[in-house]
Every structure is written in structure tokens, then in C-alpha cells.
Amino acid sequence: MIAKIKPAFFSLFPLLLCLFALSAQAGELPDFTKLVQKYGPAVVNISTKQKIHRQRMVLPQGLPQLPDNSPWNDLFRHFFGQQGQGGDNNGPDEYDAQSLGSGFIIDSDGYILTNYHVVEGADEILVRLSDRRELVGKLVGFDKRSDIALLKVKASGLPVVKIGRTEDVKVGEWAMAIGSPFGFDHSVSVGVVSAVGRSLPNESYVPFIQTDVAINPGNSGGPLFNLDGEVIGINSQIYSRTGGYMGVSFAIPMDVAMNVVAQIKSKGYVSRGWLGVLIQDVTYELAESFGMSRPSGALVAKVLKGGPAAKAGVKVGDVIVKYNDKTVDASSDLPWLVGNTPVGSDAHMVVIRNGKKRDLTVRIEELPKEEQVASNQAPPRHVSDNRLHMTVTDLTADQRKELGLDQRNGVVVQQVDAGPAYDAGIRRGDVLAMMNGVGVESVAQFRKLVKALPAGKSVAVLVQRRSGPIFLALRVPKA
């Protein structure tokens, strides 16, 4: 009997070890219950109402009005307009649209933070507290660029959150969100910080915190906590192909949010610093062409006339590697550093120009409300250069005006064949404005520049397109 039991016991030994290890790991996992109990009451549900004017279906003259049950109505709606709520063309001219979101209390006297897109265009804002009280919210101020809104309710002695510091946020640390996904109040989800300083399209002035915390519609505007119970971000966006959570969520850092709050309270609006340049990342090939040991910094592709950078002596082709003693590792680091700089103050920059470091001081100006940063006829001259396998021609006056170029800037690419230029990404219609650090003024000068290019090396070529300027790395053939 004993002989039979011993083999069975030892066969279970690995399983017992595994269970013991899982139990030990479970004991090491963080407990979020105390954080939820302490700071959950400071999280609110936000609902809004907005009057929507209905667009009626209008048929072109000559076409008869169809009966409501006609099978052709759907087709006509597609081409001539939506009938509105419920598809009834005889319904009311306007109706109430509702939205849901989250927020959190930052001041016991009733100041609440949320996303601007949660309350944008709202005719009525209703704030529901954890004790089920419903209070009318007033929009104190907002900032579209960072998607932040500050609300105020008439109350006192409210529970508040503790504000954390963005610079203390570390990739891999635990994070917890509380919000109202799909209207389910005070839902808790946890995960880790996936990345910091993320730059999203059209969101240059916010270095987002990326997490894998489950965020869904309704979570917008809610807080993101760390294990110390500090709010480190405002849950704002998700990356999704379905409209629901897919493991990639983004939060606005609290230092950005509190800067917005301070400006709204002090002057009623938000201003940001402005440098007046268009920038791009430095690739490995471009770094080689600029004499840099590794790709880093923000490459200046355009300097806006009359802007702060132009006044400070910044030139196209400069690589900004430091801004106010902060390293600029990627181009996405620079906009929010400049944006957070007080308007009218001096900023110190280190740039790499022609392989050498230079110190520049720039007086920061206010970011324009609507940034406009960058698209006369003589017979053009053509030149075909077999070394780069492309054909260029002089720019006409109309082309210069359309692209915002001066009278001594650029030649236009007429044709690109398989070869170095094509491999670099140069395409027909591109305007070559600079090559290997020298401005291209004419077809004749372009020919001379091409002949002088170093064989077997990468050189930087500044290309102007309707979408804006961009540097490309061109590998010069050895033969």
C-alpha cells in the first residue's frame, strides 16, 4: 500500500510546487481595496445634455415626395440627407443628445477636472457624486489643445484626490482607473504604465502616459492613480479599431493638467510657449549626415519668418538636442517643453550645426491661436542627373508662392527613376530646398552640388511638400 502511495505523491510534487509559487506571487500582488475606499468618493460621474438641430431630408426640385413606407427612402436619405432621430421626417426640429463621462474633485470647494470633449457644447452639465447627490456643474474654463475642462459645483467639504508628479511616473508601475465606462459608475480597472511621453497625432502639446488599464467610453475624464493613491493622469483616449478597449490607453499627465488649472483660475484662459519651427525626428542615416554619433534631437525643417527661433538665429538643418537643460531625445519631446515655458521668458537651447554644438538663447512667445505653418511664370529649365537618377527643373513664381518659398529657394523634381533619390524617398513634385547643408537656388547650382557630394556617404536633403518640409537621408553612390 505504501509503495503505491509514494509514486502518486511524488507525481503530484511538481503541481504542489507550482501552486505554492502561484500562492506566493498572489501574496505579492498589490491590494487596491484601500485606495478605492479612500479616494473613490472623490470620483464623479458627469452627464451632459445638448440641443441638436435635426437635419431633414430635402429632395431636389422635380422629385416627388415619397410615402413614409417607400423602399426608396433609405437610398434617398443616403444621397440627400439624414432624416434625424428615429428616421421620422415629421419629428421635432431639435432633440436632446446626452453623453456620459467621468471626473474627479481637486478642491473641497467644488472644483472638478474632466476632459473637454466630455462637456464640449453642453447646454447642461450634471455631476453625480458618490453619495448619489446630483449637482449642476458650471464650466469655469477649458483648453482644447490638452482636452482639459475645469468645472465648479456649489458645494463644500467635498472629498478630494491627492495630486501626483508626472516626473515620478515609471514604466512598469501599477496604475488604477476609476470611472463610469458605459455608464457603470465607480468601476475600477487596474494595469501597468506601458510608456511615458507618448506623442499622438494632432496632440503635440501633451506627453501622454500610456497604460494597459482597461478604459472604455465613459471613462474619459476620470483619474489614473498610482499605488500611493496619487492621481498621475486623466484618462483621455484609447487606441481601438472597435470602439472598445484593446489594451492601449492614454492619460494626460497631471503636471499638464494642473498647469491648465492654474492658468484658468488666474487669467481665465490658457497660453503656451511658441518657438516658431517645424521639426522632425533624426533617423540613423540623417544622424550620420549631420556628424552625430547617434540619432537624437529635433531636426529643424523650417524656421518661420519673424518667429522666436528666427530672431534667435536658429537655422534650417539645426538639430535641437537640449532645451533648458532637458535632453531632447526625440522631436516629440520639444513641443510640450516649449509649450510649458512661460511666455516672455528666455530659454537656453543647445543645437548641432555642421557637426558642432552651439548655444542659443531664445525669447519664447505665445503660441498663435491658429497656427499657420506652411503650399509668377517663366519657362522652366530642366536638368537630368544620372548620378542620383532624377530630373529637376527651376521653380516658377506661382510654385514658389504656393509653397511659401522665397525667390532663391528650391528646384522641383520632374522625374525620379530607380536609384539613390528614389531610395531616399524623393518623389515627383518634391521641391529640393537644401542639399548637404547648402541651399539649392537653381538647376545650375543643383548640378554643381550633386557633383560635389561625397561618394558612399549619407547626406541630408530638405524636401518641401504641400504637407510641409521634411529632411530625407540620401545615400550617395560610390561610383
Which of the following is catalytic: 99, 102, 117, 332? Answer: 117
At residue 262, φ and ψ (nearest 5 deg) are -60, -40
Which of the following is catalytic: 143, 147, 255, 318? Answer: 147
Report the phi/psi class of residue 226: left, alpha or beta, with left for phi > 0 and alpha for psi in -120 to 50: beta
Count helices and strands (H / E) in the chain: 11, 29
What string of DSSP letters covers 333-382? HHHHHHHTSPTT-EEEEEEEETTEEEEEEEE-EEPPSS--------PPPE
Residue matched to cell numbers 536658429: 314
d(CA 306, CA 319): 20
DSSP 60: P
d(CA 220, CA 296): 33
SS3 321: strand
Contact call for residues 294 and 374 (beta carbons, < 8 A): no
Which of the following is catalytic: 180, 187, 204, 220? Answer: 220
* 147 in active site: yes
d(CA 108, CA 115): 20
Residue 121 burial (CB count, 10 A): 11
* 53 in active site: no
d(CA 46, CA 44): 6
Report the phi/psi class of residue 149: left, alpha or beta, with left for phi > 0 and alpha for psi in -120 to 50: beta
At residue 335, φ and ψ (nearest 5 deg) are -55, -45
SS3 425: coil
Give Cβ neighbours of residue 356 (< 8 Å, ≥ 6 apart).
none
Contact call for residues 220 and 235 (beta carbons, < 8 A): yes
What string of DSSP letters covers 109-172? TTEEEEEHHHHTT-SEEEEE-TTS-EEE-EEEEEETTTTEEEEE-S-SS---PEE--GGG--TT
Contact call for residues 162 and 155 (beta carbons, < 8 A): no
d(CA 264, CA 111): 12
At residue 454, φ and ψ (nearest 5 deg) are -70, 125
d(CA 174, CA 196): 13
- Catalytically annotated residues: 117, 147, 220
